[in-house]
Amino acid sequence: MASLCGGLPRLGSVLSLSCLALSALVQLTDAAKNFEDVRCKCICPPYKENPGHIYNKNISQKDCDCLHVVDPMPVLGPDVEAYCLRCECKYEERSSVTIKVTIIIYLSILGLLLLYMVYLTLVEPILKRRLFGHSQLIQSDDDVGDHQPFANAHDVLARSRSRPNVLNKVEYAQQRWKLQVQEQRKSVFDRHVVLS
Amino acid sequence: MESEQLFHRGYYRNSYNSITSASSDEELLDGAGVIMDFQTSEDDNLLDGDTAVGTHYTMTNGGSINSSTHLLDLLDEPIPGVGTYDDFHTIDWVREKCKDRERHRRINSKKKESAWEMTKSLYDAWSGWLVVTLTGLASGALAGLIDIAADWMTDLKEGICLSALWYNHEQCCWGSNETTFEERDKCPQWKTWAELIIGQAEGPGSYIMNYIMYIFWALSFAFLAVSLVKVFAPYACGSGIPEIKTILSGFIIRGYLGKWTLMIKTVTLVLAVASGLSLGKEGPLVHVACCCGNIFSYLFPKYSTNEAKKREVLSAASAAGVSVAFGAPIGGVLFSLEEVSYYFPLKTLWRSFFAALVAAFVLRSINPFGNSRLVLFYVEYHTPWYLFELFPFILLGVFGGLWGAFFIRANIAWCRRRKSTKFGKYPVLEVIIVAAITAVIAFPNPYTRLNTSELIKELFTDCGPLESSSLCDYRNDMNASKIVDDIPDRPAGIGVYSAIWQLCLALIFKIIMTVFTFGIKVPSGLFIPSMAIGAIAGRIVGIAVEQLAYYHHDWFIFKEWCEVGADCITPGLYAMVGAAACLGGVTRMTVSLVVIVFELTGGLEYIVPLMAAVMTSKWVGDAFGREGIYEAHIRLNGYPFLDAKEEFTHTTLAADVMRPRRNDPPLAVLTQDNMTVDDIENMINETSYNGFPVIMSKESQRLVGFALRRDLTIAIESARKKQEGIVGSSRVCFAQHTPSLPAESPRPLKLRSILDMSPFTVTDHTPMEIVVDIFRKLGLRQCLVTHNGIVLGIITKKNILEHLEQLKQHVDPLTPPWHYHKKRYPPSYGPDGKPRPRFNNVQLNPIDEEREETEEEVHLLNSTTL
């Protein structure tokens, strides 16, 4: 019951979030219907002495045919129909805003992850070394043979459990996650019990 | 009451508590020829000797009821954590389904009480559809993101769009009028790296510069991918389908479908695809969709608390995953049914259908490829096929089957090497080396340099007059009066021959690289490389047949239907059939594969050729080994997966499989009411079993129920914390009524609520075929073996898998085992006519089979019991 009551507001928040995302998407697609996001592309193969050519025009879907797009027409009078029969015209749409937003979101997530990775693998061990001195370093090096990130998660976990406040809770959650990842890493890379 | 309702009510309400009934039991047993000896042997450490043998206890309805009602109240609320599972354990489908039905009944009965309860029941009824809707939305959106980002990054290896950095090559030249008929993909906005760095677009210098940049980007993408996987989420590597199959069959891998896995898999999948490795994004997309399903199911108590219900959502999610991967919603549903799901009721079918629909709709509205299709290599053919062409199609099927068999053997051998030797210790180095080799070899060949999806698209596309690729370099006889759609077969030009050479090289390259790529520690799917191999082979065969028909159109096979100047052979169709055959050879899918491929092509008339090729490839592949690549990987990793497709043909009995064996220590059992908390804790610490049968008493070994290790630990721990008066010497009582205790003894601990009172039992003479069937169909976790109501042993899923493995290696299935020829003996006697050894009154099994399973195959099984 409690979990149901807990579930409802959480569901509500997720729904409202997805509504927001959806409306943003709709706006994006509206904005995306701008001029340069549609094209009518006609590919015309070589015909008589004319070489093959590609025509490209921003034009609405109903006008997307050879007669509207091929301009100037390379052939005259009676040949126009024959020429146009060979051309293939395709109407295409894209959403440049979606592409832009997607790439930006993707790159920012990737960048954040890389920063965090660099922090965890390079910066944090150095900080720890400064803070806790030399003795612990030796100890943690003994624990894990090669240089593994999160090597001292156990210690921190034990320490942070003793003094509960908000900051420690965050740290506790983070350390728990680190332990889980360490466990996963052991089972995948060292023991090879899963995913090999 | 609630927690007790979860388990089966009232089955053992009137438990045999009186000494009289116990003694009559014994008489009954003696009559059956069982000799009971009641001496407690010295290795009877389970029961800790100090409890008096034959304690006299009575029904306690009167005296001590006061204390026990108090405890009962405390136990009214279910202990948190009871009924959950540990990591790497198997779920009990029967128990989970019972739990769900009970929950459903509770909600339904309360429905009439108030408007709020009514709302809750409506919410509950709708939550199934809601969760698959959310899953479909999320997986469609993620697929769109992956498609767009992967396209962009793939093209980043080659150059960059200076006017707008976020466009890929195609989008960059979108509105350009400078493209020419011959060089369609050149436009001034798109700069190759050579143009940017050394300022020249042509010449050997720029070629070398582009080559270097290509390798550089490929290596850095691969390095980023593998280090992200290694640091944040090791579970994100691989294709994920074998694991999802195992999870859906009822296995728990904690974190496998979690938030971090989802995020890292999405991010690194793009990097892996962009690095040009011989892998695809289709399999990992199924994993991504399943992660979404799992995460959303946490919002709904109906699904978050019940592992069996959660698996229904995951089935639907995998359908959504394939739906967006191939743009084939119906194919996705069938894929979920045929390949990944274990338990697939009709309700799940409809939900999968809906999830696939929603996901495909979202992806379509994102329109990632700008072609208003869900996949890059969507093609449309309209040319008919002729009966004679079935012959090359079947040949392609044979090729697909051979490729599948070869690939499975080679890849499993390589993965075994990675698993068992030191070479597996360097995942990052391995990825880098594979990526480097791939990039160095791939760049000079235009067909391998392309993104694999683009390659498939090019191979699928038929040669019209509009095509400019060298595959379509036919000699035209400039007979300019024909209409576009009907191009006759033409003699191949010089470009086609060189293209065939390049394709042959690409085929060899792809075959070798895919074997070494599948299984490296980045997200890697198998569908796309397999399809590419099949498409290359198919296209080569198609061109060969086409040329044959052109030059020998007077042969009797062509004479009927292929006249001069007619368009009779479509090489693109051969490529498609070849792709389906190769995919079928590797995965051994049939129905879903054909549906996926025809949804890709939108041509219903090609179903028969596809069916013929896929069926042939399955037959040929099965001749070399019955399991598909996913089953092979499951077996390699030793996951506890009981394949529903395999038949059990052996004639062993339950008694041959059950544990304990003769040389094993006796079965660890609990007694109903004369063990103390310390006894139980000792037993839990000393053994590693995941569950203990509960018997009435040591004299009468009758079964009462089954208690799981995890539940016991949690219940005792919480009782020690919450209930006062529970100490090490407290009695633990599984019976309904506490026995009368001496006045000074501590308060008893009632654990009836965690006892499974209807454990599944079979008798020792049940044939294993029936036991295996029960395990498969009901999804059991363990099953107790009894004889006349006495517990003899236990069979777990792991035991069955070990047994199957053993039989596969040692026994010819057609020869019946020893007890078929010999006289049958009562179970208390061994086959030699002597009484079997017994420990703690539990009959043990005399069969002394060598346990020679290859160590790695039972490796996981050993660490994950039940």
> Of B83-87, B137-141, B284-288, B509-513, where does mean pLDDT reach its minimum?
B83-87
| Section A99-123 average pLDDT | 93
Condensed to tens digits (0 to 9), the pLDDT of residues B346-398 reads 999 999 999 999 999 999 998 888 777 788 778 877 778 888 889 999 999 99
> CB-based contacts of B442: which residues, under 8 Å, 6+ apart?
B276, B448, B449, B509
Among B7-11, B31-35, B581-585, B690-694, the range of highest mean pLDDT: B581-585
Condensed to tens digits (0 to 9), the pLDDT of residues B459-484 reads 988 877 777 777 777 776 554 444 44
Q: How many helices (H) and strands (E) does chain B have?
A: 33, 13
| Section B713-723 average pLDDT | 84
Helix (H) or strand (E) holding B577: helix B571-587
The maximal CA–CA distance of chain B, rounded, in angstroms, is 112
CA distance A120 to B168: 33
CA distance B245 to B339: 8
Interface with chain B: mutation pick from A91, A106, A182, highest number of B CBs within 10 Å:
A106
Q: Count CB neighbours of A70 within 10 A.
A: 20
Is the pLDDT at B138 greater than 70? The verdict is: yes
Q: Tell me, what's the pLDDT at B697?
A: 83
Q: Report how far Cα B12 is from the mean position of its chain's Cα atoms.
A: 38
Q: Tell me, what's the pLDDT at A114?
A: 94
Query: How many angstroms away from the CA of A132 is the closest CA of chain B?
Result: 23
CA distance B804 to B341: 21
Taking CB atoms and an 8 Å limit, are A106 and B466 in contact across chains? no
Q: In this structure, what token pair is assigned to residue B615?
A: 């069926």
Condensed to tens digits (0 to 9), the pLDDT of residues A140-165 reads 444 444 445 555 555 555 555 555 67
pLDDT band at B243, cuts 50/70/90?
A: very high
Burial of B763 (0-12, 13-18, 19+ CB in 10 A): middle
pLDDT band at A71, cuts 50/70/90?
A: confident
Cβ atoms of B752 and B733 within 8 Å: the answer is yes
Question: Which candidate, A116, A123, A101, places its Cα nearest to that of A21?
Answer: A101
Cβ atoms of B594 and B374 within 8 Å: the answer is no
Taking CB atoms and an 8 Å limit, are B637 and A196 in contact across chains? yes
Residues in B touching A43 (Cβ below 8 Å): 181, 466
**Helix or strand or coil: residue B730?**
coil
Tokens 């990054």 -> residue: B153
Q: DSSP character for B255?
A: T
Mind spelling out the 3-state secondary structure of B107-173? HHHHCCCCHHHHHHHHHHHHHHHHHHHHHHHHHHHHHHHHHHHHHHHHHHCCEEECCCCCCCHHHHC
Is the pLDDT at A105 greater than 90? The verdict is: yes
Q: In this structure, what token pair is assigned to residue A157?
A: 């976990």
CA distance B842 to B835: 13
Q: Tell me, what's the pLDDT at B63?
A: 35
Taking CB atoms and an 8 Å limit, are B149 and A29 in contact across chains? no
Q: DSSP character for A62?
A: G
Among A33-47, B393-407, B837-851, the range of highest mean pLDDT: B393-407
Condensed to tens digits (0 to 9), the pLDDT of residues B628-643 reads 999 999 989 888 888 7
* A residues 150-169 closer than 8 Å to B (CB): none
Q: Tell me, what's the pLDDT at B857?
A: 40
pLDDT band at B82, cuts 50/70/90?
A: confident
Cβ atoms of B300 and B127 within 8 Å: the answer is yes
Taking CB atoms and an 8 Å limit, are B424 and A196 in contact across chains? yes
Is the pLDDT at B178 greater than 80? The verdict is: no
Question: Which candidate, B171, B135, B138, places its Cα nearest to that of B156?
Answer: B171
Asked if the peptide bond before residue B660 counts as cis, ω within 30 degrees of 0, the response is yes
Is the pLDDT at A33 greater than 70? The verdict is: no
Residues in B touching A36 (Cβ below 8 Å): 174-175
CA distance A49 to A37: 33
CA distance B612 to B393: 7
What does DSSP say about strands A53-57 and A38-44: parallel, antiparallel, or unpaired?
antiparallel
Question: Which candidate, B134, B131, B135, B110, places its Cα nearest to that of B121?
Answer: B110
Provide the residue type at B441 as one letter.
I
pLDDT band at B172, cuts 50/70/90?
A: confident
Helix (H) or strand (E) holding B192: strand B190-192
What does DSSP say about strands A38-44 and A88-93: parallel, antiparallel, or unpaired?
antiparallel
Residues in A touching B120 (Cβ below 8 Å): 4
Q: Tell me, what's the pLDDT at A102?
A: 92
pLDDT band at A57, cuts 50/70/90?
A: confident
Of A29, A149, A185, the CB nearest to B234: A185
CA distance B517 to B4: 52
Is the pLDDT at B17 greater than 50? The verdict is: no
Q: How many CA atoms lie within 13 A of A45 on its CB side?
A: 17
Cβ atoms of A190 and B859 within 8 Å: the answer is no
CA distance B55 to B742: 12
Residues in A touching B255 (Cβ below 8 Å): 180, 184
Q: Count CB neighbours of B455 within 10 A.
A: 23
Q: Tell me, what's the pLDDT at A155?
A: 57
Helix (H) or strand (E) holding B785: strand B782-787
pTM of the model: 0.81
Is the pLDDT at B48 greater than 50? The verdict is: no
Taking CB atoms and an 8 Å limit, are A109 and B123 in contact across chains? no
**Helix or strand or coil: residue B513?**
helix
Residues in B touching A86 (Cβ below 8 Å): 465, 483-484
Phi, psi of B706 (to 5 degrees): -140, 135
Residues in A touching B171 (Cβ below 8 Å): 94, 96, 99
Q: Which residue has the higher pLDDT, B231 or B7?
A: B231
ipTM beyond cut 0.85: no
Residues in A touching B270 (Cβ below 8 Å): 106
What's the mean per-residue pLDDT of chain B?
A: 79
Q: Tell me, what's the pLDDT at A25?
A: 53
Taking CB atoms and an 8 Å limit, are B145 and A102 in contact across chains? yes
CA distance B642 to B73: 41
Condensed to tens digits (0 to 9), the pLDDT of residues B580-619 reads 999 999 999 989 999 998 888 777 888 889 999 999 999 9
Of B227, B234, B636, the CB nearest to A188: B234
Q: Tell me, what's the pLDDT at B719?
A: 83
CA distance B841 to B696: 13
Of A53, A177, A195, the CB nearest to B181: A53
Asked if the peptide bond before residue A72 counts as cis, ω within 30 degrees of 0, the response is yes
Is the pLDDT at B296 greater than 60? The verdict is: yes
Taking CB atoms and an 8 Å limit, are B181 and A51 in contact across chains? yes
Q: What percent of chain A has pLDDT over 70?
A: 65
CA distance B589 to A62: 43
Q: How many CA atoms lie within 13 A of B388 on its CB side?
A: 15
pLDDT band at B54, cuts 50/70/90?
A: very low
Taking CB atoms and an 8 Å limit, are B233 and A189 in contact across chains? no
| Section A46-54 average pLDDT | 78
Q: Tell me, what's the pLDDT at B297?
A: 93
Taking CB atoms and an 8 Å limit, are A4 and B120 in contact across chains? yes
Condensed to tens digits (0 to 9), the pLDDT of residues B404-420 reads 999 999 999 999 988 88
Q: In this structure, what token pair is assigned to residue B257?
A: 């479908």
Q: Which residue has the higher pLDDT, A196 or B749?
A: B749
Q: Tell me, what's the pLDDT at B78?
A: 62
| Section B171-189 average pLDDT | 79
Phi, psi of B339 (to 5 degrees): -105, -50
Instruction: Looking at B421-466, list the stretches that DSSP marks H as alpha helix, in order from N- to C-terminal side.
Output: 427-442, 446-449, 452-460
Q: Which residue has the higher pLDDT, B839 or B39?
A: B839
Q: Tell me, what's the pLDDT at A144?
A: 43
Q: Tell me, what's the pLDDT at A53?
A: 81
pLDDT band at B856, cuts 50/70/90?
A: very low
Condensed to tens digits (0 to 9), the pLDDT of residues B733-776 reads 887 777 676 667 777 788 888 888 888 889 988 888 888 888 88
C-alpha distances out from residue B368 to A44, A54, A97, Å: 26, 23, 12
Is the pLDDT at B145 greater than 90? The verdict is: yes
Cβ atoms of A169 and A195 within 8 Å: the answer is no
Taking CB atoms and an 8 Å limit, are B175 and A121 in contact across chains? no
Q: Which residues pair with B661 in a beta bridge?
A: B845
